[in-house]
Amino acid sequence: MNSTEARCSSRVVWRAWGSALAALALAGAVRAAESETPEAGAGDSSPPAAPTRWEGAVGLLMHYNPSYLGSNDSKLHARPGLFLRYGRFSVTTAGGFVTRRNNDEVQRGLAAELVSRDRLRVSLSARLDGGRDEGDDPILHGLGDVRATVRGRLSAVREFGEGWKLSAGFSPDLLGRGGGIVGDMGLSYDWPLTPTLKASVSAGFTAADHRYMQSYFGITPAQSLASGHPVYEPGAGLRDVGVGFGLRADLGPHWIGFANANTTRLMGPTLDSPLTRSRSAWGIGGGLAWRF
């Protein structure tokens, strides 16, 4: 199969992935609407809907992870975190916050819950993707920056009970700045250690299309002349697989703390990239937040 055929094939796969998630969102929305519609003749006997209210959190997050995916050098990052939600709409600067409502995690950026049922949640979000700065690592010198963009995300989470959850996401670059399309799927399990401390484990994979792979792992002829790296044109495929472990603790009526550790193994076209200096990576993180 030549490169043109491979790209056409990958586009078909990504469209199918996005279509499947969109169909899930539509089906869930229809079922949710039907369940919320009162039956004929019910009169005023139905209980009133729960009032919609604000909730939020502010905190400090810290991460120690590779300077870029594939790097053999790691850096410590600290940043503030902010989360606000009103009803089905939320805005947050970082994922991982735990909210008062069902203890569910929130999507980064500006998000809207399309479906919110006992065992199914579907959401649509948009966030700023900072791209990559060639100054992040000496290996990247001469490659230029991967431009910042706005990345959309359609995601679904299906709960199976007893702590098990299956999630999937479809995330395209909405501005066409080289970010391509990223898809992910994962399985997680969480359980209480104490009434105020919860642990979780997760495993999953991430895949990306040709455009994303070229931006983050490829080397064009012009970049080769500027950087000294050999030309490399990756195709679409798996980007990585990973596992993680996390802890969340309620420290009082308003305070929460969380910590996590993860390890990732690069896969597919990323392995042959001149930019891949380490096929395996690990990271740790944590934070403290005040909920209101």
Give the separation between CA 95 and CA 127, rounded to whole angstroms.
Answer: 11
Beta strands in 173-208 (DSSP E): 181-194, 197-208
* Res 48: pLDDT: 42
Closest CA to 92 of 75, 105, 76: 105
Q: Burial-class residue 270 by CB neighbours within 10 Å (0-12, 13-18, 19+).
A: buried
Dihedral sign from CA coordinates of 77, 78, 84, 85: positive
Per-residue tokens: 264: 């990732």
Give the separation between CA 290 and CA 61, rounded to whole angstroms.
Answer: 12
* Res 28: pLDDT: 47
Give the separation between CA 216 and CA 208, rounded to whole angstroms.
Answer: 10
Tens-digit pLDDT string for the chain (292 aa): 444 444 554 554 455 555 555 555 454 444 444 444 444 444 444 444 444 588 888 999 999 999 999 999 999 999 898 999 898 899 998 766 666 555 566 778 999 999 988 899 999 999 999 999 999 999 999 999 999 999 999 999 999 989 999 999 999 999 999 999 999 999 999 999 999 999 999 999 999 999 999 999 999 999 999 999 999 999 999 999 999 999 999 998 889 999 999 999 999 999 999 999 999 999 999 999 998 8
* Res 106: pLDDT: 72
Give the separation between CA 199 and CA 177, rounded to whole angstroms.
Answer: 38
DSSP class of residue 108 equals S
Identity at 91, one-letter amino acid code = V
Give the separation between CA 92 and CA 48, rounded to whole angstroms.
Answer: 30
Note the helical H segments in the chain.
3-36, 210-217, 221-227
φ, ψ of residue 211 to 5 degrees: the values are -65, -45
The CATH fold assigned to 3-36+54-291 is Porin (2.40.160)
What end-to-end distance do the CA atoms of the chain give, in Å? 56
Give the separation between CA 187 and CA 88, rounded to whole angstroms.
Answer: 24
- Residues sharing a CB contact under 8 Å with residue 55, sequence separation 6 or more, in sequence order: 84, 85, 99, 100, 101, 291, 292
Domain locations along the chain: 3-36+54-291
